[in-house]
């Protein structure tokens, strides 16, 4: 018993050094060579950091493409989903309200055209992407607000569709922040 305890103590110390000190330090060292230097990749406009490429941010202004609803209001220091069950009546009412609000802000759009992801909350509350359909459906509104031709905005969306992995694996997506930054440069 005493022998076991003594070995346990020493082996624990050895493993702490190996797994909790050396291993993370090694990865941190290697991480310095990555694109974001291990601190996360940021996106800048005119030299000013406006966000992290992979972390979604809140867009409520009609002149920007919106991202998905977020259960934590895009709080990047407290990620979470809504955890609402599919049969919860309050939740279904929330989705209904989101649909109504979407229709008010996007005149000329029919309910059947709204993709579900635009009215349901993401898993992290920080989803940086929407589907191509989710972007196309906002083109009309943005064109009207910005006084730009619809065709031009549509082409912009098209240029921002990210292909699946290796061209064949996984869904198509559009990064909302990058799309909006490009949108700001349109005249």
Partner 1 sequence: MNSEILGVVITFLVTVLLAYPLGKYIAKVFKGERTLTDFMNPVEKFFFRVCGINPHETMNWKQFLKAMLTINMLWLVYAFFLLIFQHKLPLNPDGNPGQTPDLAFNTAISFLVNCNLQHYSGESGLTYFTQLFVITFLQFVSAATGIAALVAVFNGLKEKTTQNLGNFWVIFTKSITRVLLPLCIIAAIFLAFNGSPTSYDGKDNLVTLQGDSVQVSRGPAAGMIAIKHLGTNGGGWFGANSAHPLENPNYFTNMLEMVIQVLIPIALIFALGFYINRRKLSKVIFGVMTIGLLCLLIPTIISEINGSPAIEKLGVLQSTGAMEGKEVRFGPAASGYWSIVTTIISTGSVNSMHDSSMPMSGMMQLLGMMINAFYGGCGVGILNYLIYLIIAVFIAGLMVGRTPEFMGHKVEAREVKIAALVMLLSAFLVKTFTALAAYMVAHHPDIAWQVKPGAWLNNPSYHGFSEMLYEFTSSNANNGSGFEGLGDNNIFWNVTTGIVLILARFLPIIGPVAIIGLLAKKKFVPESPGTLRTDSWTFGMMTFAVIVVFNALSFFPALALGPLAEYFSMY
Q: Which of 46, 62, 107, 120 is close enough to bind partner 1 by CB under 8 A?
A: 120
Comparing CB distances to partner 1, the nearer of 34 and 186 is: 34
- Considering the rule CB under 8 A, would residue 180 count as an interface residue with partner 1? yes
Instruction: Residue 143: count other Cβ atoms within 10 Å of its Cβ.
Output: 16
Verify binding: residue 109, partner 1, rule CB under 8 A.
Answer: no
* Contact predicate 17/11, CB 8 Å: no
Interacting residues with partner 1 between 2 and 61 (CB under 8 A): 3-12, 14-16, 18-21, 23-24, 26-28, 30-32, 34-42, 45, 49-61
Q: What are phi and psi of 97, to 5 degrees?
A: -60, -40
186 binds partner 1 (CB under 8 A): no
Q: What's the min distance (Å) between Cβ of 47 and partner 1?
A: 13
* Alpha-carbon span 119 to 96, nearest angstrom: 8
Name the minimum Å distance from CB 138 to partner 1: 14
Answer yes or no: are the C-beta atoms of 28 and 21 closer than 8 Å: no
Annotate each residue in 68-97 with x if it binds partner 1 (CB under 8 A) or - if it does not, as one string.
x-----xxxxxxxxxxxxxxxx-xx--xx-
Distance CA 96, CA 114 (A): 12
Identify residues 126-165 at the interface with partner 1 (CB under 8 A): 126-131, 133-134, 164-165
CB nearer to partner 1: give 53 or 143. Answer: 53
- Interface with partner 1: number of residues (CB under 8 A): 105
- DSSP assignment of 129-185 equals EE-HHHHHTTHHHHHHHHT--HHHHHHHHHHHEEPPBTTTBS--EEEHHHHHHHHHT
């Amino acid at each position: 018993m005493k022998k076991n305890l003594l070995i346990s103590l020493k082996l624990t110390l050895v493993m702490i050094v190996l797994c909790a000190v050396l291993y993370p330090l090694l990865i941190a060292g290697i991480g310095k060579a990555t694109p974001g230097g291990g601190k996360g990749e940021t996106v800048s406009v005119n030299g000013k950091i406006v966000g992290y490429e992979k972390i979604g941010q809140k867009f409520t202004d009609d002149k920007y493409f919106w991202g998905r609803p977020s259960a934590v209001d895009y709080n990047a220091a407290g990620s979470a989903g809504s955890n609402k069950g599919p049969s919860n009546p309050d939740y279904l009412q929330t989705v209904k309200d989101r649909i109504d609000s979407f229709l008010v802000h996007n005149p000329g759009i029919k309910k059947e055209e709204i993709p579900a992801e635009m009215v349901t909350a993401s898993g992290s509350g920080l989803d940086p992407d929407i589907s191509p359909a989710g972007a196309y459906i906002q083109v009309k509104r943005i064109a009207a607000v910005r006084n730009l031709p619809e065709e031009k905005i549509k082409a912009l969306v098209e240029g921002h569709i990210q292909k699946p992995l290796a061209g064949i694996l996984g869904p198509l997506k559009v990064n909302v922040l990058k799309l909006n930054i490009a949108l700001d440069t349109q005249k």
